[in-house]
Amino acid sequence: MSGTASTAGPTNTASTASPACTAHDLTFGQRFLERAESFGPVCVGIDPHASLLEQWGLPVSVKGVEAFTRTCVEAFRDSACVVKPQVAFYEAFGSAGFAILERAIADLRSSGVLVIADAKRGDIGSTMAGYARAWLDDESPLCVDAVTVSPYLGVGSLQPVFDLAEETNRGAIVLAATSNPEAPGLQLATVPSEPSECEKSDTASSDTLTVAQSVVDAVARTNAGHVGAGNMGVVVGATVQQPPSLARVNGLILMPGVGAQGGTMADVRRIAAGAEQLACPNVSRSVLSQGPDVDALRETLATTTAAILN
């Protein structure tokens, strides 16, 4: 981002960007499907929180986060389908933390592994456009393959990030239904359903649908024009009790909660019914707890992936 480029709308800067950060021919969803054929569909987290740093014998400091991240990059850059750094653990150290994240993103993306920044950003108008540029613009030092976003201000408020995602074939993955115990109160609140027959969700048998389903349906509409899979995705926990219908989502389904948190591949298949190939189970603790040995991290990711596929 330089010169007088406007942040109000996306600009095509691919020609001047580094090769690792140019716009793509395939959608984010298509690139996920392609890489999953070789590596399996699993996303592994990079979560340098205090207890893991201590477990790895590292200080809870910028230096500790840096060492943890370097090890994760080495372990996963050529062995994972998708990696997902958790932005909060970098933000906790301010600009020094973001500098570590920028280096990790550059190293990971130069290897071809897909990178999802778990940021859960959400705002409106030019402010949302600012977040879109931070995470999806070719010239941003934080440019990744996809970013997670939060729809409390309405899915429509996320349009600036959807627009830049469509332009660059990067991804925006919207929180829909999560596994934490505090979530259902809001995510299962009811809203009037869409009137159009063709857009109606499979589960919308009455005049109302849940907030979570309305988020999934909005993402499905955005993805509908793409063959295979579009650029937008949803977050749906693998241990959610009343999941939304995902059959028509046509984009990546990021599913935390597999492994240590109790979710199984049977849960993933049941919840993602009709869109199973788009399910991207996320594992973090069960793999990261085997560090800091790089080979042990790689082996655990491989065995976890194999277990999930069988």
Within 216-235, which residues bind its own copies (CB under 8 A)? none
Q: Is residue 289 near its own copies by the rule CB under 8 A? A: no
Q: What sections of the chain are H helices per DSSP?
A: 28-39, 50-55, 62-76, 88-91, 94-111, 125-136, 159-168, 184-187, 211-223, 265-271, 285-288, 294-309
User: Nearer to its own copies by C-beta: 122 or 251?
Assistant: 122
Q: How far is the CB of 279 from its own copies (least distance, A)?
A: 21
User: Nearer to its own copies by C-beta: 153 or 247?
Assistant: 153
Q: How far is the CB of 242 from its own copies (least distance, A)?
A: 14
Pairing of strands 190-192, 208-210: antiparallel
Q: Which stretch binds its own copies (CB under 8 A): 20-28, 139-147, 240-248, 291-299?
A: 139-147
Which structure tokens are listed for 218?
Answer: 């909005």
User: Nearer to its own copies by C-beta: 96 or 309?
Assistant: 96
Q: How far is the CB of 53 from its own copies (least distance, A)?
A: 9
The residue count for binding its own copies (CB under 8 A) is 71
Q: Site for its own copies (CB under 8 A): which residue of 26, 33, 124, 307?
A: 124
Q: Is residue 94 near its own copies by the rule CB under 8 A? A: yes
Distance CA 94, CA 84 (A): 19
Q: Which stretch binds its own copies (CB under 8 A): 15-23, 72-80, 86-94, 302-310?
A: 86-94
The pattern of x and - marking residues 18 through 57 that bind its own copies according to CB under 8 A reads: -----------------------------x-xxx--x---
Report residue 280: phi and psi, to 5°.
Answer: -125, 90
Residues 171-200 that bind its own copies (CB under 8 A): 175, 178, 180-187, 189-191
Report residue 276: phi and psi, to 5°.
Answer: -55, -40
Q: Which stretch binds its own copies (CB under 8 A): 27-35, 69-77, 120-128, 238-246?
A: 120-128
The amino acid present at 139, given as its one-letter code, is: E
**Closest by Cα among 282, 281, 218 to 250:** 218
Residues annotated as catalytic (active site), given as ranges = 120
Residue 263 burial (10 A CB sphere; 0-12, 13-18, 19+): buried
243: preceding bond cis by omega (within 30 degrees): no
The DSSP call for residue 279 is E
User: Nearer to its own copies by C-beta: 154 or 225?
Assistant: 154
